Amino acid sequence: MDEKISLEAIALYGDTYAENVLKGFFSSRDRISGPEILNLCNVQQVNLFVVRELFRAWKEETKKLKSAYFDYENPDVKEALENFMGVLSKNISIDRAHFAPLLKKASSHTLLAIFDPYDFFSMVVTGKNNKLEVEPFREEIKYLKVNKAPLERMLQKLDEKGAKELSGNEAFAILDQILEEVNFTPEDVEEYIEKFSAVVPLDPARFYVSKSPQVKPPVQEVRQPEPPRVNTTLPPKQQPPVQQNRPNHNTPVQQGSSLNDRMGREAKPMLAGNFKKIMKIKDSLTINQKFMFTKVLFHGDFELFSKAIDRLDQLDNVQTALQYIDEEYASTWDRDSEEFHEFMELVEKRFA
């Protein structure tokens, strides 16, 4: 079964969880204070993300403090504002209407950090406008308790470099190296499932969009005998009919065909500048691709994805590579998806 995380499903559960918490707390109170926020939910990460949202709101409000008469950049003024923030944080008072969206966002982000850390990392390191600013990133990590080791290591590296900001692509490259260095494995989710379920029953399977694997009909029902096509890269029995252009993704595909068949039918012209041979798939992958392929093609299992890439890099030719993918994985893949085509393009480049 081909699965990928559903952000809509996560948001829906997060809203339901938040509504139940709100109902329980505000049934006897009109407002919530700072100390009460820190002890509101049985999942501490949710509480911390609410505080993070309040801190962000404070930062946005202080940015508006500009004047033709007063120097808000003066160190003494900045220190006074920080002290003011300390006092203000001890006097938080929020009604239900204004608190609800904070709690819902915090709940969804917590679920994302737990069940889909790769997308969560992607969201954090890209920052705003595909740029990572180190100081806001440092503040972000202060409020993170789940799956935080890779981001802590990243901050350490940025501090060692003395970096203040960098592009999203540079940030991905650094995080990519760190994930390999620490051999990152997401934390066990059972404890979190139990805690969330104490408020609203949680079935993590509902967070995934699933597509049933294609049922392979008898060969005679889907393929007619065809004259062999001259193609030295495929065995004669698998020669597909000649096609000049790659079909549109919406074009019906014969079920039950192997990857050798499919790749032959979908042969697409490659520009010389576009199609550069790669020595190893592993070395050419971006962190975005790792996240994307792991989530969409390998059911969120990073170890399974890594095993497949290592095996493909060890093989000698495209036929054995396609056979390996066909036998081990492809029966559960959506062969019309962009992720499938991008992955297979890397395989083609490996054996070009």
Q: Does residue 179 share a domain with residue 292?
A: no
Q: Does residue 263 share a domain with residue 186?
A: no
The pLDDT of residue 260: 61
Residue 15 in any domain: the answer is yes
Do the beta carbons of residue 346 and residue 305 sit within 8 Å? Answer: no
Q: Does residue 239 share a domain with residue 196?
A: no
Do the beta carbons of residue 207 and residue 10 sit within 8 Å? Answer: yes
Q: Is the pTM of this model over 0.85?
A: no
Q: Does residue 168 share a domain with residue 81?
A: yes
Name the DSSP letter for residue 163: -
What backbone torsions phi and psi does residue 25 show, to the nearest 5 degrees? -75, -50
Q: Does residue 271 share a domain with residue 167?
A: no
Is pLDDT of 146 > 80?
A: yes
pLDDT tens for each residue of 155-187 = 999 999 999 998 877 887 788 778 877 777 888
Residue 191, domain extent: 2-201
Residue 213 in any domain: the answer is no
Residue 49 in any domain: the answer is yes
The pLDDT of residue 150: 92
The pLDDT of residue 224: 45
Q: Does residue 282 share a domain with residue 173?
A: no
Residue 308 in any domain: the answer is yes
What backbone torsions phi and psi does residue 127 show, to the nearest 5 degrees? 60, -150
pLDDT tens for each residue of 254-306 = 444 566 655 554 444 443 345 568 888 988 887 668 877 887 888 777 778 88
* Total count of residues recorded for the chain: 352
Residue 250 in any domain: the answer is no
Which residues are within 8 A (CB) of 88 and not within 5 positions of it... i.e. 6 or more apart? 58
Q: Does residue 284 share a domain with residue 160?
A: no
Which residues are within 8 A (CB) of 10 and not within 5 positions of it... i.e. 6 or more apart? 108, 111, 112, 115, 116, 207
* pLDDT, greater one: 346 or 227: 346
Question: What is the tally of structural domains in the chain?
Answer: 2
Q: Does residue 332 share a domain with residue 271?
A: yes
Residue 271 in any domain: the answer is yes
R_g of the chain computed on alpha carbons: 26
Average pLDDT over residues 348-352: 86
Residue 216 in any domain: the answer is no
Q: Does residue 280 share a domain with residue 151?
A: no
Q: Does residue 167 share a domain with residue 56?
A: yes
Q: Does residue 21 share a domain with residue 141?
A: yes
* pLDDT, greater one: 48 or 123: 48
